[in-house]
Amino acid sequence: MINRQSPEQAEGDFAQPRRWPQNFAWLYADQLLSVFAGTCGTFTLSWLLYEVTGSTAAMGGLWLISFASQWSVQLVAGPLIDRWKRTAVMKLSEAVRAAVYLAAGLMWIAGERQSYILYTASWISSFVMYDLASGALLPKLVRPEELTRKNAWMSGSVQLMRTLAFPLAGLGVQVLQPGTLLLILSLLFAGSFLCICCIREGPPAYAASAGQGRSGAGAVWFGQIRAGWKVFSGNRLLVALALFVSVTSFGVAATQAMYIPYVSEVLGGGAAEYGWFTAAFPCGYVLGSWAAGRIRGTSPMLGTMLAALLIGGATYVGLSLVRSLPAALVIELAAGIAMPFWNVFQQ
């Protein structure tokens, strides 16, 4: 795929070496703002739904809707994401999320507090292509030799922002009225929209020819999927790896739906305690990523990966046995430290 760049961009960011190119700085600020608002939004919608329904099944339904929306976007966006400018897709996504949280906040203030409103807000806000577009935009804004370093810097900062968002969202739920908090989140997404407006991007990296059209792009995309499936199905190691990934992904997704009732009913905590508990895993993940990066390539990768899975499973058992928040925080921190050893080496 050839990324085309406008002359203004070439003369701006690439002509003179700078540590923080202007376009990258705006993308960096936008990513942090969007991740913070999105994490706080998911936290807030989950907590409000549990307060309204008190049902663990309702919590599971909310997370299922969120995951299904994200998977659908990843599947459908394949042949489409390169047809438009990344910034246009990002602005549309942030505008939709700002409108969704604005509507949810106004309806909550007006006394409309039915669960279907929260379900709808979660579904629409998850059905966006911001992450795909922003990830594809980064290589167009930085020098090739700086891409790895800038990507690592951004990924670490995003993970840190997620860690900070959880306890701050818990504090916000306790201090602010839910309707006010939802309106603040809408303003954050609006701020993210404004940051995107400051990014200068060239034309779309891919444009179908007059004879190709959308059906031709879709055919190419499906052909790539078929070719990838042939390679995947013919490699036993990839099949086994996919099985392990499926099991770990299922475990992570299932436990996320149980976190609120676990903290409130088992640990006896509130929104603030839930925020600290959910922040423990990403905090541990940051520490584990640093440790995993220092392991040499000659280390036994398979043994390290299996040990990480074993530790992750043991943390679930540990959480079922403890009844105090500090102990649960330590266990969840350990789970976060172990997970990068699986994620890094399985790639």
Where does a domain end: 178, 202, 226? Answer: 202
CATH of the domain at 170: 1.20.1250.20
CA 183/CA 163 separation, integer angstroms: 22
Please tell me the total number of residues recorded for the chain in this structure.
347
What the block records as the tokens of 252 is 């992570």
Which residue, 342, 275, 28, 277, is CA-closest to 157? 28
Cβ contact 30:91 at 8 Å = no
Asked if residue 153 and residue 54 are part of one domain, the reply reads: yes
Cβ contact 27:141 at 8 Å = yes
Cβ contact 205:1 at 8 Å = yes
Lowest mean per-residue pLDDT among 31-45, 181-195, 302-316:
302-316
Specify the pLDDT at position 15.
42
Q: What is the pLDDT of residues 192-207, one digit of tens each?
A: 999 999 988 766 555 4
The four Cα atoms 315, 166, 256, 136 give a dihedral, to 10 degrees, of -110
What the block records as the tokens of 189 is 């997404």
Where does a domain end: 181, 202, 223? Answer: 202
Place of tokens 């403890």: 322
Task: List Cβ neighbours of 322 (8 Å cut-off, separation of 6 or more).
Answer: 328, 331
Q: What is the pLDDT of residues 137-150, one digit of tens each?
A: 888 888 887 776 77
CA 96/CA 201 separation, integer angstroms: 21
Of 87 and 219, which is predicted with more confidence?
A: 87
* Residue 334 Cα distances to 165, 278, 345, angstroms: 20, 13, 18
Write phi, then psi, for 255 (nearest 5 degrees): -70, -30
End-to-end CA distance of the chain: 22
Specify the pLDDT at position 201.
78
Domain holding 295, by residue range, is 236-347
Residue 335 forms part of a structural domain = yes
Model confidence, pTM: 0.76
SS3 66: helix
Asked if residue 134 and residue 51 are part of one domain, the reply reads: yes
Task: Give exposure, 207-245, as e/b (b: 16+ Cβ within 10 Å).
Answer: ebeeeeeeeebeeeeeeeeeeeeeeeeeeeeeeeeeeee
What the block records as the tokens of 9 is 């961009």
Residue 160 forms part of a structural domain = yes
Cβ contact 282:162 at 8 Å = yes
Alpha helices in 142-212 (DSSP H): 147-175, 178-197
Asked if residue 157 and residue 27 are part of one domain, the reply reads: yes
Q: What is the pLDDT of residues 84-141, one digit of tens each?
A: 788 888 999 999 999 999 999 999 999 988 999 999 998 988 877 888 888 888 888 8
SS3 279: helix
Specify the pLDDT at position 6.
43
Decide if pLDDT at 221 tops 70.
Answer: no
Where does a domain end: 202, 222, 251? Answer: 202
Beta strands in the chain, from DSSP E residues, in sequence order: none
Asked if residue 343 and residue 243 are part of one domain, the reply reads: yes
